[in-house]
Structure 1
Amino acid sequence: MARARNKLTARKVATLAEPGRHSDGGSLYLAIDGSGAAMRRRWLFLFNCRGKRREMGLGGFPEVSLADARAQRDLAEQAVRAGRDPIEERAAARQAEAGKPTFGQIADALIEAKGPEWRNDKHRAQWKMTLEVYAAPLRTRPVDEIDTEAVLGILQPIWQTKPETASRLRGRIEAVLDAARAKGHIPRNEANPARWRGHLDKLLPKRTKLSRGHHAAMDYADVPGFIAELRGRDATAALCLEFTILTACRSGETLNALWSEIDIDKKLWMIPAARMKAAREHRVPLSDRALAILENLATAKTGEFVFGGQKAGKPLSGMAMEMVLRRMKVDDVTVHGFRSAFRDWAGNETHFPRELAEAALAHVIGDKAEQAYRRGDALEKRRALMEAWANYCEPTTTINVIPIKRNEI
Structure 2
Amino acid sequence: MARNKLSETRIRSLAKAGIYSDGDGLFLRVRSGGSKQWFFIFKRNGQRTEIGLGGYGQGTAPVPLLLAREKAEEIRQRLSRGEKLHRRKTFADIMDDVLDVKKASFRNDKHKDQWVMTLTKYAAALHKVPIADITRDHVVEVLKPIWTKIPETADRTRQRIAAVIDHAKARGLYTGDNPADWRGGLKELLPARSKLTRGHHAAVSYKELPGVLVKLQQSLAVSARAVEFIALTAARSNEARSMTWMEIDFTEKLWTIPAERMKAGKAHEVPLTDRAIQILKDQEAVRTSDLVFEGERVGRPISDTAMVKVFRAAGAGDATLHGLRSSLRDWAGDETDYPRDVAEAALAHTVKDKTEAAYRRGTALAKRRAMMDEWETYLYRSRD
TM-score by length of 1: 0.44
Q: Which has the larger radius of gyration?
A: 1
TM-score by length of 2: 0.47
